[in-house]
C-alpha cells in the first residue's frame, strides 16, 4: 500500500541565517524597522500627512488643525490595534505550531476563527450589535467557547489532549461552526451584510474603543506565550522525552492553549479573521534563528506586526483614494509563502 506523508526536517544549525551571537542584533534591527513602519502608518494613507505634523499632534496639539485631528483620532488607534493584533497573531501562530508539532498549524486549528465568526453573527442577529466595540465581546466569547470545546473533546481518552486529537477535534468543530454560520447568514440578509464588513479582516474604522477593549487580553496573552518557550522546546522532542525531562505535558498543553485562545481570540475580535500571518511568520522566524522557541517567539512578536502593518499601508496606497482591506493583502502576500512551505515538504512512499 502506498501513502503520501509530509514531514518537515528539523532546521539544521548551518541553515540558520543568524547565529547565536547575531540573534540579539537581528532582533534589534527588525524592531527598528518596525518603528519605521509605525511612523509610516501614521503618515501614509489616502492623504499624506507630513511627519512633522504627526509629531506636532503629540507634542503641540492644535484642535483646529484637521490633519492633527486625523492622526490622533483615526491613525493612532488604527496603528496601535494593528501593532497589537500583529503581535498577538505572530505569537499565537508560533505557540500553536510548537504545541501541535505541526508546521502548517495556525490558531484556526482550534476553531478560534470559526467560533468568533459564529458569535459575531449571533450578536448581530439576536442582540442587534451594530458597532465594532459590540462585536469585540461576542467574538472573544465565541473564540473562547470554541477552544474550550475543542480541548474538552480532545481530552477524552487515556492519552489526554494529544497534538493529533487537538487537530482532529478542531477540524470537526470548525466544520460544524462553519455550517451554523452559513445557516444564520441565510436567515437574514441584513445580518449577512453586517457580518461581511467584519469578516473580511480590516483595520478601517477601528477606534480607541476597540483598542481599550482588547489591549489587556493581548498583554496578558503575550506574557503567557513568552513563558512557554521552554515547554515548547521540550514538547518538540516528543511527549515521552518531554516527560523524561520533567515536563508536565498536559499542563504545558493547557497553558499553551490558553495563550493561543487569549491572543488569537482578542486579535480576531478586534480586526476580524486575518489569514496567513500566524501561519507564515513563525516559519520566517525559524529560518532566521533556528528551532529554539526562546528566539522564535520574540522574533515572531516583532515580525508579525511588521507584516500586518506593512500590508495595511500597502492596502491604503495601491488603490488610493479607496482602500484594500488588510485581510485581502495578507492573503495575497501570504499565499506564495504558503506554497513555498508546501513545496519544501518531503514526500515519500511507505
Q: What is the C-alpha separation between 286 and 17, in angstroms, rounded? A: 9
Identify the DSSP state of 273. -
Domain 4-349 in CATH 1.10.3470.10? The answer is yes
CA quadruple 49, 54, 55, 56: dihedral positive or negative?
A: positive
Phi (first) and psi of residue 6, to 5 degrees: -105, 130
Q: What is the pLDDT of residue 51?
A: 87
Q: What is the per-residue DSSP string for 315-347?
A: HHHHTTTS---HHHHHHHHHHHHHHHHHHTSEE
Residue 300: all three cell numbers together: 515572531
Strand partners, 7: 346
Q: What is the C-alpha separation between 13 and 339, in angstroms, rounded? A: 24
Direct distance between the N- and C-terminal alpha carbons of the chain, in angstroms, rounded to an integer: 7
Q: What is the C-alpha separation between 105 and 89, in angstroms, rounded? A: 12
Q: What is the pLDDT of residue 136?
A: 78
| Greatest Cα-to-Cα distance within the chain, rounded to the nearest angstrom | 75
Ordered by start, the domain boundaries in the chain are 4-349
DSSP-derived 3-state class of residue 220? helix
Q: What is the pLDDT of residue 341?
A: 66
Q: What is the C-alpha separation between 31 and 337, in angstroms, rounded? A: 22
Taking alpha carbons only, the member of 278, 325, 337 closest to residue 303 is 278
| Cα distances (angstroms) measured from residue 216 to each of 171, 219, 220 | 29, 5, 6
Strand 4-7, strand 346-349: pairing: antiparallel
Q: What is the pLDDT of residue 344?
A: 65
Identify the DSSP state of 200. T
Phi (first) and psi of residue 291, to 5 degrees: -85, 5
Q: What is the pLDDT of residue 337?
A: 74
Q: What is the pLDDT of residue 121?
A: 83
Q: What is the C-alpha separation between 329 and 309, in angstroms, rounded? A: 11
Residue 121: all three cell numbers together: 453573527
Peptide bond into 321 cis (omega under 30): yes
Q: What is the pLDDT of residue 210?
A: 86
Q: What is the pLDDT of residue 10?
A: 44
Q: What is the pLDDT of residue 200?
A: 79
300 Ramachandran zone, left/alpha/beta (phi>0; psi -120 to 50): alpha
Q: What is the pLDDT along the chain (350 residues), one digit of tens a residue?
A: 333 333 343 444 446 777 778 999 999 999 999 999 999 999 998 788 888 888 888 888 888 888 888 888 889 999 999 999 999 999 999 998 998 887 777 777 778 888 888 888 888 778 877 676 677 788 888 888 988 898 888 888 777 767 778 778 888 898 898 888 888 777 766 666 667 767 778 888 788 888 888 899 999 999 999 999 999 999 888 888 888 888 888 888 889 988 988 998 889 888 888 888 988 899 899 989 999 999 999 999 999 999 999 999 999 998 878 888 898 899 888 778 777 766 765 433 33
Amino acid at each position: 500500500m502506498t501513502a503520501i506523508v509530509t514531514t518537515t526536517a528539523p532546521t539544521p544549525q548551518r541553515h540558520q541565517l543568524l547565529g547565536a551571537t547575531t540573534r540579539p542584533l537581528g532582533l534589534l534591527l527588525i524592531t527598528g524597522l518596525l518603528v519605521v513602519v509605525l511612523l509610516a502608518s501614521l503618515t501614509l494613507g489616502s492623504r499624506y500627512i507630513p511627519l512633522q505634523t504627526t509629531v506636532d499632534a503629540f507634542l503641540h496639539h492644535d484642535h483646529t488643525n484637521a490633519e492633527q485631528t486625523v492622526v490622533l483620532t483615526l491613525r493612532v488607534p488604527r496603528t496601535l490595534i494593528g501593532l497589537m493584533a500583529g503581535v498577538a497573531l505572530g505569537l499565537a501562530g508560533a505557540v500553536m505550531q510548537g504545541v501541535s508539532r505541526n508546521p502548517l498549524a495556525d490558531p484556526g486549528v482550534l476553531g478560534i476563527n470559526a467560533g468568533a465568526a459564529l458569535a459575531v453573527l449571533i450578536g448581530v442577529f439576536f442582540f442587534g450589535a451594530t458597532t465594532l466595540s459590540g462585536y469585540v465581546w461576542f467574538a472573544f466569547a465565541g473564540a473562547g467557547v470554541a477552544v474550550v470545546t475543542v480541548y474538552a473533546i480532545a481530552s477524552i481518552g487515556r492519552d489526554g489532549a494529544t497534538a493529533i486529537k487537538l487537530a482532529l477535534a478542531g477540524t470537526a468543530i470548525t466544520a460544524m461552526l462553519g455550517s451554523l454560520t452559513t445557516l444564520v447568514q441565510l436567515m437574514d440578509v441584513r445580518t449577512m451584510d453586517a457580518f461581511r464588513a467584519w469578516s473580511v479582516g480590516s483595520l478601517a474604522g477601528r477606534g480607541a474603543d476597540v483598542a481599550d477593549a482588547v489591549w489587556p487580553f493581548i498583554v496578558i496573552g503575550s506574557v503567557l506565550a513568552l513563558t512557554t518557550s521552554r515547554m515548547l522546546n521540550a514538547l518538540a522532542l516528543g511527549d515521552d522525552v518531554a516527560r523524561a525531562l520533567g515536563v508536565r505535558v498536559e499542563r504545558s498543553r493547557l497553558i499553551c492553549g490558553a495563550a493561543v485562545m487569549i491572543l488569537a481570540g482578542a486579535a480576531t475580535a478586534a480586526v476580524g479573521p486575518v489569514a496567513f500571518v500566524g501561519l507564515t511568520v513563525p516559519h520566517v522566524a525559524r529560518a532566521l534563528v533556528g528551532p529554539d522557541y526562546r528566539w522564535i517567539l520574540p522574533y515572531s512578536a516583532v515580525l508579525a506586526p511588521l507584516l500586518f502593518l506593512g500590508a495595511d499601508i500597502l492596502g491604503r496606497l495601491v488603490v488610493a483614494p479607496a482602500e484594500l482591506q488588510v485581510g485581502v493583502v495578507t492573503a495575497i502576500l501570504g499565499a506564495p509563502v504558503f506554497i513555498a512551505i508546501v513545496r519544501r515538504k518531503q514526500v515519500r512512499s511507505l
